Structure 1
Amino acid sequence: TEFGIIKNEAGSNNFVLSVKQWMEKTNAIGLSATAGRYGSTYGHKDIAFHFGMWISPKFQLYIVKEYQRLKDFESNQYNLEWNVKR
């Protein structure tokens, strides 16, 4: 329900939502934020990859190609054949 409120307010020119506010309002997991001079925001690696693929098609293509390369290497290394059950 809180997400619906955020979504409706997001269209206004004066809307501001920090990472900490997002975490508090949505009970987000997988994110961490600290304020201050040496503050930082961290996300789970799955969230980071998804965000990176969302903002950069080039990054998305890189991730997909690298995944395919690793699976081919794994298949060749262990002499695995394609199997629908795998």
Structure 2
Amino acid sequence: SGFAPYEMRKGDQVIGIDVEIMAAVAKSMDKELVIEDMNFDSLIPAVQSGKIDIIAAGLTVTEARKEEIDFSDDYVVGAKQVLVVKAADLN
């Protein structure tokens, strides 16, 4: 965790938008939500091996990843920008 406001730590808890969404999904399915705070690189292998059931993280959809796992519809769409000082002499 550490990708505010989507997931971050507050004391010993993981909180954020992803957690709130997954809590709502679990509730709608009458399931218990258990959060495993894992290293980002271990997420796909963990879901492939059955260690975890779902990944709720800022995981960019790529063709390579689509060959490994299934993705839901987007629930967040964002734009990235580069900012510079107005006086910067850039081309």
Indicate the TM-score class for this superposition, using the shorter chain for normalisation.
Answer: under 0.3
TM-score normalised by the chain length of structure 1: 0.23
- TM-score of the superposed pair, with normalisation by structure 2: 0.22
Structure having the higher Rg: 1
Greater share of helix: 1
